[in-house]
Structure 1
Amino acid sequence: MRNLLMIFVASLFITSCAVIRPGEAGVKQRLGKLDNEVVTQGTIVFNPFTTKVIKESIQTNNLKLALRIPSKEGLSVDSEISILYRLEVEKLPTVLENIGPNYKDVMAAVFRSASSDVCAQFYAKDMHSGKRADIEKAIKEKMETTLTPQGIIIEAVLMKSIQLPPGLSLSIEQKLQAEQDAMRMEFILQSERLEADRKIIEATGSRDAQKILAQGLTPEILKLRSIEAFIQLSKSANSKVIITDGKTPFLINGEKN
């Protein structure tokens, strides 16, 4: 009998304790009424006959959704959504009292409403471009208006795996290809213009050099060059036939002695 009593007492003690692990928060619910005190770590002792402990995660969680989003032109865009959220510790009793343990369903409903309002202001192609961040931000802000006062913190809304209608996807791909071709042609034309400019500069420099050289060939310079040529010829061991007017020598041929 004594052993049975000890077993009963031990069982009662075990069932009247709840362990709150890191990343969790616990709230006592006594006779259906939630306690305002929130325990984040440690052990909670309670009366199992009248009280129970509700535990919820207070870490950042990821709510994944897959749904169709309407666009401004009336198209439906398939998308996978990740909503990063966490419960505000101090408002955990409020979440459980006003929304209940199925708060994820409420979050999904709020997202559907917010995404419909926001995405209806953007074209389908915007969801597949740099405007996606603006759409995500606008949806997040709209969700915060409803959920933050209730104790649910929305950290981010991420739109992933955007699937545009087939016809629109093809049009976007063709447009991107046309833009790439135009950029490639512009590069080629720019290279050709630079090469043409280089040739013009080279030709202009050569012409200016010839003009400068021609301006420097005065009769006195030509006479001096002739004298230098005669001097060089006089030093040669070969015989030469030269016709000259006394000013400029003209070499006809030369034979070795």
Structure 2
Amino acid sequence: MSDNGQLKLPKSIMPIIILVIVVIIFLSKSTITIDSGEVGVLYKTFGGGVVTDEAPLGEGFHIVAPWNKVFVYNVRQQELFEREMSVLSSNGLEIKLDASVLYQPTAATVGFLHQTRGSDYLNSVIIPAIRSATRSVVGRYTPEQLYSTKRDAIQAEIFEETKKIIEPQYIQLNSVLVRDVTLPPTIKTAIERKLKQEQESLEYEFRLVTASKEAEKVRIEAQGKADANRILSASLNDKILRDKGIEATIKLAESPNSKVIVIGSGKGGLPIILGNQ
């Protein structure tokens, strides 16, 4: 302790304290923790810049040289929602289209993405790509096709064209979803009126076909009955009718009901049966 009462450290301890401070600073500058769903791109200041020939740093704790840098990228699936993109149909009408783009950086090649496009790849690659592909595809179709029959085909074509642009740039495209197509009010009203008329026409044609089939069915049944009667009439003769009459007479005579039978008084010599019940 010094004469003025202050504690004085031995000179031999000072280098140790300084070394400890330097080590703490070194470690604080040399460690990084990569969170879930992320990878780290290593940049070697004295070793050739961005490391692309090695796998990126994975999740967890890492120690790197303090003069190097690590750029962290989210490699989970992400969504871009493009609202009211203005595009032109095949006949030059302006269409508003909403679409969602599901994408993610390709983890194994994220070093090349950082080297060629950087962390702002959303604005420099994906947004221009989806807008360009949408304009190109929508320009092939009429407003009516966009509004009704071709929605799925348009969505698939936008996906394929966007994929051709962004996947060579180390970005994986998972899906493109066309959420809404907004037409000018007058065009939308005209299309809806036309679709309604087409639907009514189809319903009317269906009723005509149904009625025609029902009429044909009745005609066939009537023709069948007429043919059956004609065949039956042609096959009957006096002998068959007399035999049938005798059979009927025998059955009536055998019944328990009271009756009076007049023999030989009917047509063809058949008996007449008179009953009181």
Report what 1:186 is aligned to. 205
Q: Shift in Å at residue 104 of structure 1?
A: 0.5
Which of 77, 89, 95 is 2:107 aligned to?
Answer: 89
Q: Is the 8 A contact 2:258 2:275 kept in 1?
A: no
Query: 2 CA distance for matches of 1:234 and 1:90?
Result: 105
Cα distance 1:81–1:238, how it changes in 2: closer, same or farther (>3 A)? closer
Note if 1:199 corresponds to 2:218: yes
Query: 1 CA distance for matches of 2:207 and 2:110?
Result: 64
RMSD: 3.2
Cα distance 1:39–1:130, how it changes in 2: closer, same or farther (>3 A)? farther
Gaps of 5+ in 2: 1-13
Note if 1:155 corresponds to 2:174: yes
Gaps of 5+ in 1: none
SS at match of 2:140: coil
Report what 2:3 is aligned to. none
Q: Deviations over 1:160-206 (max 9, x none)?
A: 12212212222222222223222322222222122212211221222
Q: Is the 8 A contact 1:84 1:154 kept in 2?
A: yes
State the percentage of identical aligned residues. Answer: 28
Report what 1:27 is aligned to. 41
Q: Which structure has the highest strand share of the two?
A: 1
Cα distance 1:59–1:219, how it changes in 2: closer, same or farther (>3 A)? same
Note if 1:224 corresponds to 2:243: yes
Q: TM-score, normalised to structure 1's length?
A: 0.81
Report what 2:116 is aligned to. 98
Which of 192, 195, 201 is 1:173 aligned to?
Answer: 192
Note if 1:71 corresponds to 2:89: yes
Report what 1:125 is aligned to. 144
Q: Shift in Å at residue 26 of structure 1?
A: 0.3
Count matched residues.
Answer: 254
SS at match of 1:122: coil
Query: 1 CA distance for matches of 2:131 and 2:258?
Result: 106
How does 1:137-148 map onto structure 2 within 5 Å? Answer: 137-148=156-167
Q: Deviations over 1:82-121 (max 9, x none)?
A: 1122212233222222212111102212222222222222
